[in-house]
Amino acid sequence: MIAQVLLKDVAETPRIPIKDCIRNVKTVYHKTISKRKGYLGHRPAFEMIYENWEGSFQTLLRYIAALQKFNIGTVVEWRLMPGNILNFVFWTFKPCINGFAH
């Protein structure tokens, strides 16, 4: 219920402060909620719009695979921190590599 109220705000500002979430819920329902409920409402709203972290990572994997398939010679470098936490992804296209040599 709180997440539904926050969907539009989270879509516009993904890092919306919890105090603004509380204020928006108060505007709609005329009830004051706790910071915890504001946070717990923000999280599912965020996941409805942007998926969860695992889903985002899977989308990134598909995107990188498509880059490599349709741009032959694309170089991709992944770095994972301990615990398989993504540190960074770097990619460059083959024409950029060739152009850099000149």
The model's pTM is 0.55
| pLDDT exceeds cutoff 80 at 52 | no
| pLDDT exceeds cutoff 90 at 36 | yes
| pLDDT exceeds cutoff 90 at 49 | no
**Mapped to the 3 state alphabet, what secondary structure does 40-98 carry?**
HHHHHHHHHHHCCHHHHHHHHHHHHHHHHHHCCCCEEEEEEECCCEEEEEEEECHHHHH
